[in-house]
Amino acid sequence: MSVRAGEDTKGWFRSERFLCINSQWYFLTREMTQEGPFESKKDAQMELMLYIRHANDAFFKAG
């Protein structure tokens, strides 16, 4: 079992965040929503980066 650097035990679940259904790409969020469809995995990756940026902006503005 591999763990992150600095951690003794593995206490998290990891899965692929991107999925392809009928040639369309989606990404999954920590909130367990499925976002998409996108034409390519690269498009889904770019949208995920924007999603995370917006979530972080909202978090830091609220705090």
**CB contact at 8 A, 51 and 29:** yes
Task: Tell me what pLDDT residue 42 has.
Answer: 97
Mean model confidence pLDDT for the chain: 86
Half-sphere exposure of 55 (CA within 13 A, CB side): 9
- Enumerate the domain spans of the chain: 18-62
Using 50, 70 and 90 to split pLDDT, how confident is the model at 28? very high
Give the list of residues 6+ apart from residue 1 with CB closer than 8 angstroms, or none: 10
Task: Tell me what pLDDT residue 39 has.
Answer: 98
**CB contact at 8 A, 23 and 35:** no
Mean of pLDDT values over 18-24: 97
Better-predicted residue by pLDDT, 61 or 28 = 28
Other CB atoms within 10 A of residue 24 CB: 14
Mean of pLDDT values over 21-40: 95
